[in-house]
């Protein structure tokens, strides 16, 4: 960031993402960077005052952790994910919760 915005001052919010939205609304900051689901939520709650920028700044992969000793749960999770992929439920969820332009980049 410092290389591209030499006059910028970095401000860190360690408590909660909604603090970033509040600071934007109060015009205390010019931009707030967080993960896409958080920004989607914050923009939806503050549509009159905030807009999202939907270009990914990096690439991250989602993973779920399952206890090693719970193989039956892992089998259930994999089974439902296979079913959701086959019947289109997974795509529907992704389209509902992620901006369309972000979703298209996943595939």
Tokens 């992704």 belong to which residue?
A: 94
State the number of CA atoms in the 13 A half-sphere of 62 facing the CB: 5
Q: What is the pLDDT of residue 94?
A: 80
Average pLDDT, the chain: 83
Tell me the torsion sign for CA atoms 20, 23, 24, 28. negative
Alpha carbons 3 and 95: distance in angstroms, whole number: 34
Q: What is the pLDDT of residue 71?
A: 92
Mean pLDDT (10-residue bins), the chain, 107 residues:
76 81 90 86 89 79 83 93 94 75 54
Query: Count of CB atoms within 10 A of residue 32's CB?
Result: 20
Q: What is the pLDDT of residue 88?
A: 92
Q: What is the pLDDT of residue 40?
A: 86
């Amino acid at each position: 960031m410092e290389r591209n915005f030499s006059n910028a001052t970095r401000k860190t919010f360690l408590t909660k993402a909604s603090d970033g939205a509040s600071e934007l609304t109060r015009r205390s900051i010019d931009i707030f960077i967080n993960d896409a689901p958080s920004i989607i939520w914050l923009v939806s709650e503050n549509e009159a005052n905030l807009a999202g920028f939907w270009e990914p700044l990096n690439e991250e992969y989602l993973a779920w952790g399952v206890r090693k000793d719970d193989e039956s749960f892992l089998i259930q999770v994999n089974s439902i994910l296979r079913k959701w992929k086959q019947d289109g439920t997974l795509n529907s969820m992704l389209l509902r919760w992620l901006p369309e332009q972000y979703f298209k980049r996943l595939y």
